[in-house]
Amino acid sequence: MSQTRAFDSWPAPGACHIKRDRRRRAGFTLLEILVASAVLALLVLGLVSVTGQSGQAVRAATGKIEASQSARAGFDLLARNLGQATLNTYWRADNPDSPRRYLRSSDLHFVIQQAGVNGIGFPGTGQAVFFQAPLGYTGDAASYGGLPSLLNTVGYYVDFRPEDLPPLPNAPAPRWRFRLMQMLAPAERMKAFASRDGGDSFGWFSPGVYNDYVQPVADNVIALVLRASRPTGEDIPGLGGKFAYDSRLDANATPQPVTAHQMPSAVEVAMVSIAEESANRLAGGGSSPPAVIVSALQGLFQNTASIDDDLGELDKRLSAAGIRFRTYRTSVPILESRWSEN
């Protein structure tokens, strides 16, 4: 009996082998662990790469939107104020003692000139415009705050200049950028009347007069193109295809030129701004403008007949340089214009 029980207690044939096989199947081999680790590393690397690319895309899109919003706001501000330009033109006799004909006359002034003339604006960035508009801005609200239609001197142009920041100890150097500048002087500083018959007809918007009232309204604007036009949208006769307009030029001649003391019916406005990302990449020359931008603008916007071709050429040059940009364009009707070609 005892032998039989001892014999019955023996493990069944192959039982030890089964247990050993189960132990082997319960774990992983070193090779399996290495393969799994490699696959996991690849997954983590792919996830990090996708996350980084997504973050870069979000940052780029956010920067582009912010830059676009700033440029759009500056463009809309320019168009809105330009549309309110006025000359308050009136008729006067050519000779009070022996009048023979009436002449247009005005105490105000409307000017479009190339950027860089007389040190106003950066050369090659298009044009600058200066005019008077009833914006009601005053620096003495206590005395003039109740007069919302006061005339102001207004101007727009592109310049290359640093940030206007208050000096602070250990502050980083200010960033230099192409910027859309606005000159807006309070009504009590309006000088257009005083320079009407003086030797310096343009003195009323000279930098020395209005330096304290010039500020940027949009960063990274590299070009502002301004073309005066007739009611039909065509070029104005007598301008010779130039991006220029001067309502006082030869105004006392007989006969008067068609531009004498009157404003164009409309001004076509085109503005080109680059993304902040591109501006940061091109920065590094301190107070020296990026050579690639200066080169891209070289030789453009000299004749109104080629405005479309010039904008297309600028598009090609900026794209070839890998510069992200946006062009804004519209025709601004001058509401107070009473255009006449007589």
Give 235-274 pLDDT, tens digit per residue.
998 899 999 999 999 988 888 999 999 999 999 999 999 9
pLDDT at site 93: 86
pLDDT of residue 341: 85
The Cα-based distances of 217 to 78, 180, 220 in angstroms read 9, 6, 10
Angstrom distance (rounded) from CA 156 to CA 163: 17
- Average pLDDT of every residue of the chain: 86
Distance (Å) of CA 201 to CA 56, 74, 186, 281: 52, 28, 20, 42
**pLDDT tier at 316 (50, 70, 90 boundaries)?**
very high
Task: State yes or no: pLDDT of 162 exceeds 80.
Answer: yes
- CA end-to-end span of the chain, whole Å? 141
Which whole number is the average pLDDT over 211-217? 92
Predicted local distance difference test score (pLDDT) of residue 24: 53
The arithmetic mean of pLDDT across residues 23-48, rounded, is: 78
| Angle CA 269–270–271, to nearest 5 | 120
DSSP string, 151-191: -EEEEEEEEEEE------TTPPPPPEEEEEEEEEE-GGG--
- Band (pLDDT 50/70/90 cuts) for residue 102 is confident
- Compute the average pLDDT of residues 184-193: 90
Judged by DSSP in three states, 72 sits in helix
Is the pTM of the predicted complex or chain greater than 0.85?
A: no
If one counts every other C-beta atom within 10 angstroms of the C-beta of residue 230, the result is 15
Amino acid at 276: E
